[in-house]
Amino acid sequence: MVKPPVSTIGDMPISPHASAPVMSQVHVGAATHCPYCALQCGMYVANGEITPREDIPANSGGLCQKGWTAAELLESPERLTTPLLHGNPVSWDEALDYVAARIEAIRAEHGPDAVAVFGGGGLTNEKAYQLGKFARVALRTSQIDYNGRFCMSSAAAAVIRAFGMDRGLPFPITDIARAGAILFAGGNVAETMPPFVRHLTAMRSRGGKLVVADPRVTQTAKMADLHLQLTPGTDLALALGLLHIAIADGYADLDYLAARTTGFEEVRTSVSVWWPERVERVTGVPVAHMREAVRILGEAERAMVLTGRGAEQHAKGTDTVTAFVNLALTLGLPGREGSGYGCVTGQGNGQGGREHGQKADQLPGYRKIDDPAAREHVAAVWGIDPADLPGPGRSAYELLDALGTPRGPRALLLFGSNPVVSAPRAGHVTSRLDALDLLVVSDFVLSETAAMADVVLPTTQWAEEAGTMTNLEGRVLLRRQAAAPPPGARSDLEILRGLAERLGCGEKFSADPRTVFDELRRASAGGLADYSGITYERIAAETGVFWPCPDNGGDPHPGTPRPFLDRFATPDGRARMVPVDHRLPAEDVDEEFPLYLTSGRVLAHYQSGAQTRRIRPLTQASSEVFVELHPHLAERLGVSSGDRVRVRSRRGAAEAVARVTASIRPDTVFMPFHWEGVNLLTNPALDPMSRMPEFKVCAAAVERCDDRERAA
Ligand code: SF4
């Protein structure tokens, strides 16, 4: 069972079954949120039991299997409760003294950029903020980035270019039910975040139509009225083709385009060469299906275009999302109630984690680190000279790739991430981690990455600490403490303070989440992601507050559920349409590697599986890495379901169990990324704007394991 709970927000006791704080009682259980995906389903946690909350619109009473079983994680026998130094248990003082001394020595020898920090999209806003501040103030390093770069950075780059601001869904999730049509490109919410499906089902039960673009017949595609089963890596061509048809068939909303956008004429000219038959040849999607998709979208009174990782995790991900945004703008959707474009964010705090400073080029409030006014504002909050703030650093893969090289960092502090499993070209990343002088990992179990570390710091988990998370709608939510941590575990905020003390600036780093959040509010004030008017009490009373929410003093700002209704966040208030063009995947198929390899998630697991692979019902549901093959391909290879096969790419090889299914294209194989395997093969080619690696397509070959062994 979970330890007796301490139900507080910061120091304030909270009623378990009411959304408002109660000052005078301590209750059992707490209203909090799931530790996993960006839907951030609301749940009550009491004595090891989880029940869903009805008051959070994202899930309103629903949870998926991962959420229902999340409390098991707190009791995992694999929990770490003692710091490890070179694999041996040591006291906290020994561990932190060692880390601080090694940091000092490495800095003295190689300079501040020799120490790097890597964060995660699952960290609370408070931790993400504190990590960015710790890197810049305590370490004075520019070398910080995080695994959210691997999640939705392409969508973020595209919508900042188009709308001037990046908020995943710029509307409440409940707007989905009001839409008459939705095009969803590259998202499989039926498996990745099942309670999302209820919004799509509500839309369809009112007569709305769902169009899904995906190379696989996923569970989400099975729900769709129309499935566009495109070739991996051709989402951009598909979007250009749909836009071409929308203009040619008279669905362009010319009044809206004139009033609310710039650049339409250039975009119209650029898509004129993407006539439907050409797009069919590139994507494999029949012209009739494309025309039907455009008709469904164009004739709906309210419609939405949504993208997920399938369209975004490419070396041309930013341009792909830009093309889908151009389609939405041409149809006159963004900034209209009940319509719009949205990116369905994946990681638990994928939204908030990208707003407050753990990105290489960013300061809190979604400020740019090379903006003099931003530097001045944040430096004043941090009590330092703006000149002492480092500049931009390397993006996530570039940072991992540089570790241990003559010009790269010699030490890495890693929080909330498991790159040995989740980074592209993971075998190479592992060798870079191995080359470091110092690897420090904060984790609650010995993940694949933690197992390599010089120092492992055992940390608390989601239900054992308070903090805020920002869900895929941009709604800031409160995670309340629902259970006492095991003796020996410390929160990441405590760890950062402990290190800062040893580095001579402990007074600047609080370990109390509420204190850190109040500082974050001040640091974000006036920025794009302005949280200054949001308090723990308001979140509790209102079941979340949408940013931007400036501090208006005595007249509280209501928060901003739909930020683009009147104007976009660009200097002239208009959305910017940018012409983009299709290009081949960074690595196309050839004779040696004749198949497209794509990757994704399964229902039972989350991200690198460091959490969900330790929960019995989830491992029973899905226990090992597999590869999906079409029956025609399987027959050609002499492979049956259950056979062990070897999948190879130019970067390595991985074994997996074959699953023969007609739900995948004959030219494509699919592997989930929750286990070590597929990322040994993926291509780290980067998007030039977002620095997103090309996770979703590379060239591969498959063979039965025994064939290769016989040949050897
Ligand atoms: Fe909800 Fe996502 Fe948790 Fe499932 S994993 S319960 S969809 S937040």
Three-state SS string over 500-536 comes to HHHCCCHHHCCCCHHHHHHHHHHHHCCCCCCCCCCCH
The pLDDT of residue 19: 31
**Ligand 1 atom with least separation from CA of 58:** 1
The pLDDT of residue 673: 84
Cα of 88 vs centre of ligand 1, distance in Å, is 36
**Ligand 1 atom with least separation from CA of 37:** 2
Identify the architecture of domain 595-711 in CATH: Beta Barrel (2.40)
The tokens of 575 are what?
A: 């959305």
Residue identifier of the C-alpha nearest atom 7 of ligand 1: 193
Cα of 190 vs centre of ligand 1, distance in Å, is 11
CA 565 to chain CA centroid, Å, is 26
Sequential DSSP letters for 571-595? TTSSEEP--------SS---SSS-E
Taking CA atoms, 244 is separated from 104, 247, 274, 278, 299, in Å, by: 58, 5, 6, 11, 16
The pLDDT of residue 607: 85
Residue identifier of the C-alpha nearest atom 1 of ligand 1: 41
Is beta strand 438-443 parallel, antiparallel or unpaired with respect to 8-9? Answer: unpaired
Task: For the domain covering 84-150+351-546, report its CATH number.
Answer: 3.40.50.740
Please enumerate in sequence order all residues whose Cβ is within 8 A of that of 138, keeping only pairs 6 or more positions apart, or say none: 496, 499, 500, 503, 505, 508, 509
Contact of 599 with 678, CB cutoff 8 Å: yes
Contact of 678 with 305, CB cutoff 8 Å: no
Q: Domain map of the chain by residue range?
A: 84-150+351-546, 153-343, 595-711
Residues paired with 311 in a beta bridge: none
The pLDDT of residue 29: 66
The count of other CB atoms within 10 Å of the CB of residue 216 is: 21
Cα of 36 vs centre of ligand 1, distance in Å, is 6
**Ligand 1 atom with least separation from CA of 606:** 5
Cα of 529 vs centre of ligand 1, distance in Å, is 24
Sequential DSSP letters for 343-355? E---STTTTGGGT
Element (H, E) at 469: strand 467-470
Rounded distance between C-alpha atoms, residue 584 and residue 78, angstroms:
44
Distance between first and last Cα of the chain = 52
Cα of 572 vs centre of ligand 1, distance in Å, is 38
The pLDDT of residue 8: 37
The pLDDT of residue 601: 87
Residue identifier of the C-alpha nearest atom 6 of ligand 1: 67
Ligand 1 site residues (CB inside 6 A) read 34, 36-37, 39-41, 59, 63-64, 66-67, 193-195
- Where are any strands of DSSP class E within 214-300? 226-228, 261-262
To 5 degrees, how large is the angle CA 670–CA 671–CA 676?
160
Residues in the chain: 712
The pLDDT of residue 10: 33
Contact of 503 with 411, CB cutoff 8 Å: no
Cα of 461 vs centre of ligand 1, distance in Å, is 16
Cα of 611 vs centre of ligand 1, distance in Å, is 13
Fold equal for 84-150+351-546 and 595-711: no
pLDDT digits (tens, 9 = 90+) for 660-680: 999 999 999 999 988 888 899
Instruction: Give the orientation angle of helix 317-330 with respect to helix 264-271, to 10 degrees.
Output: 110
Please enumerate in sequence order all residues whose Cβ is within 8 A of that of 69, keeping only pairs 6 or more positions apart, or say none: 50, 615, 617, 618
Cα of 546 vs centre of ligand 1, distance in Å, is 20
The rounded radius of gyration (Å) of the Cα atoms in the chain is 24
Three-state DSSP state, 33: strand
Q: Which of 33, 56, 151, 193 to mutate to test the pocket of ligand 1 (most atoms within 8 A of CB)?
A: 193
Rounded distance between C-alpha atoms, residue 397 and residue 598, angstroms:
19
The pLDDT of residue 711: 55
Element (H, E) at 326: helix 317-330
**Ligand 1 atom with least separation from CA of 196:** 7
Rounded distance between C-alpha atoms, residue 612 and residue 244, angstroms:
43
Reported pTM: 0.92
The pLDDT of residue 87: 96
Amino acid 587 reads E
CA 438 to chain CA centroid, Å, is 27
**Ligand 1 atom with least separation from CA of 35:** 3
For the chain, list residues with pLDDT below 50.
1-28
Three-state DSSP state, 181: strand
User: 229: left (phi > 0), else alpha (psi -120 to 50), else beta?
Assistant: beta
What is the assigned CATH class of domain 153-343? Answer: alpha beta
